[in-house]
Structure formats: C-alpha cells, structure tokens
Structure 1
C-alpha cells in the first residue's frame, strides 16, 4: 500500500483545525457543505482526505455533518462504541498509508448505548451472549476503576473508553512511524447529542 498516495494536503494540526471549524459551523447552523450529487460527482475521480474519523454506529451522530465536511475530506469507520477490531484497524492503517491522512480522530458520544450496556453488564455480572458480548468485552476495560454506584458512571466510562481507544491506536505498530515522524496525530473527542458540540480531549 505504501506509495499509492504521494502528497499530504494537510498537516495534523491543520486537519484538526478543519474539523474544529466545521463543528462550529454545524453548531451555529451555518454549514458550508451539503450532501448533493454534484459534490459527489466532483470527487468521483479521486480522493485526498485529510482525516480518518472513528465513531459509533449511533444514528444520531452523522460524522460528515457533525464536522461539516465535503465529499472526499474524511474517511469514516464506525462500529458499536468505536470498538477496534482488525477490520477497523486495517481501515485506519489503509487511510494513513494509502490515502495519506494526517489525523485519526476517535469520537465517542454522550449517552452511548453500548458503553451504558457494558456498565450494566459489569454491575450485574451478566455478560450478553454472541457478538454483542464481544462488544461488551472490548469496552469493559474502560469500566475498570469507574465507581459503578455513581449515576454518572456511564459518562465517565464513555470518556475513559475514548481515551483507551486513542492509546490503543497510538500503540498500533502500523501507525507508529507516522506518529513518531509527526505525519500523523491521534486525538479523542466526545460529541454532545444535545448541543452538537464536539469536545476535543487532546
């Protein structure tokens, strides 16, 4: 995959700035980009995204809209509570290596159902079966150390899970060189369902 992408359009700091500015436009009701077929057609010939954004599958968190980004600007990978598995990690590595993105952003969100269910499972000791159980197992380490009697436990765990996901990405061998050389930055964030604001944790 190395060498497919020959030039990076944005530095990590500039890419992060694009997402911060886009979120402000979104919150203030002044989006610059819409989703229409002319934009899709304009980027059909190729892409040079600046970021890969990892988010939850929650339907209330449409990441392209939240960051007011046009077609071709961000790659998006979504899984329940942005759980990292091999396909998600491979997708992030591809975005960095082949497409030259300079920012990997992990976006958790308030009232995340998967994290809340994990807190409940840890409290009760009743782990769900099947692949939902896999999600719970992957999220559960973020619940360690959280006061399960605290009503705010799910929100504390959501933040801890974002931080843990960021740390796991930073430790991924396929991303290490880019991070060490300053070509790639990995950042965490929390989306507020009520206000639309994204809080950047780094």
Structure 2
C-alpha cells in the first residue's frame, strides 16, 4: 500500500514520477510484475493509474460502475493474485459517484431492488444494500453510501475462498479507499 500512498502524494503535489511514455510501455511488453490490483469505478474523472502515479506494469486495474462486483471481476482479481502475484487488492470508491447517486434517487422514488429501474437496474440492485444500510435521510447520503459500499465490497472480496486463503497465509491484503474528486486525495479506510 505504501507505493500507492506515495504515488497519490506525488499526484496531489503535482510531481508525478511517471508519464505516459510509449517507451515505458514498450519496456514492459514482455512481462509484468504488478504489486497491486486496484478495483474502481468507470468514472472518467478517476483514472486509477494517474491518481496513484503508477507506471506501466505496476498495477492491474479493474473497473465497473461503482466498482460493483460480478463473476468476471472476481475471476480477474483471482487471476491477478494467483498468476501475477499482486499482494494488495484495493477497492477505490469516489465522491459524487453517479451510480450511487442513481441508486439513492431510485430508492427515494420508491424503486425496490429487483424491480424495474431502467438501464442501471443491475447497479441499483447491487448498490441498494449499502444505501439502505446508511439510510436515505440527509444531504450526505451519497457519500455515506459510497463508504459503506466500499466496505461491503472489501468484505465480499475477503470472503471469496481463493482470496480468503491468500489473506490467511499473509500473501495479500484487501483494503478500501475513497477518492476525493476536488482535492485528489485518496483516503484509505480502516
């Protein structure tokens, strides 16, 4: 995790170590040894390699709307751990997440998980438990729901049998964080 914390500091202070240089990409073409897999949202304002100031080959990135897990993502994470030897799986949520906001609004409008809520229905179904856990009252519902969903995703990954075995053996950590769109800081959750 220290590599990601240091990279985020370089990013925030405007001193990134790595650029997106095609020569560096070519240098890693024959192999990779990433230290982490970062699972984040598809939001274009959250480029995970950039916010952690990581170069080609240093992290694997998996993304979905609001980092909602499915079989493909879990399989990809298992692959990164088993075959690429990553030692950290980091779940990164972010402030002002559109999928979380859509879920909050759908639930406030009376939609129920499993109901018809349009194109984002699967995401709403998957995010609803986090939103319901924090409640629909208050102006900070979205932010509280993001944090709750990150925590729930971390817990769910820790329960994946293959990952649980790696955690128990001390070979990997699974952790959560929230990215602040305004400041650029990543807050690592306890």
Residue-by-residue CA offset, 1:75-131 (whole Å, 9 max, x unaligned): 00000000000000000000000000000000000000000110111111235124x
Q: Does 1:166 align with 2:140?
A: no
2:82 corresponds in structure 1 to: 97
Counterpart residue number, 1:4: none
1:177 positional shift: 1.0
Q: Is it true that 1:157 corresponds to 2:168 in the alignment? A: no
Q: Is 1:85–2:70 an aligned residue pair?
A: yes
Aligned match for 1:176, one of 164, 174, 178: 164
Q: What TM-score do you get using the length of structure 1 for normalisation?
A: 0.90
Give a deviation string over 1:129-154, Cα, whole Å, max 9, x none. Answer: 24x10111011110123231211111
User: Residue 176 of structure 1: CA displacement?
Assistant: 1.1
Matched position secondary structure for 1:30: coil
- Separation in structure 1 between the aligned mates of residue 135 and residue 71 of structure 2, nearest angstrom: 31
Gaps of 5+ in 1: 1-15
Superposition misfits of 4+ residues, deviation over 2 angstroms: none
SS at the partner of 2:134?
coil
Question: 2:106, 2:162 → 1: CA distance?
Answer: 33
1:5 corresponds in structure 2 to none
Structure 2, unaligned runs of 5 or more: none
- For 1:145 and 1:65, the matched residues in 2 are separated by 32
Q: Equivalents in 2 of 1:102, 1:152: separation in Å?
A: 33
The size of the alignment, in residue pairs, is 186
| Match 1:113 to one of 98, 114, 121 | 98
Query: TM-score, with normalisation over the residues of structure 2?
Result: 0.96
Q: Matches of 1:145 and 1:58 in 2, distance apart?
A: 24
- Trace 1:25-104 onto structure 2 (pairs within 5 A): 25-104=10-89
State which of 87, 100, 117 in structure 2 corresponds to 1:128: 117
- Root-mean-square deviation (CA, aligned residues, Å) is 0.8
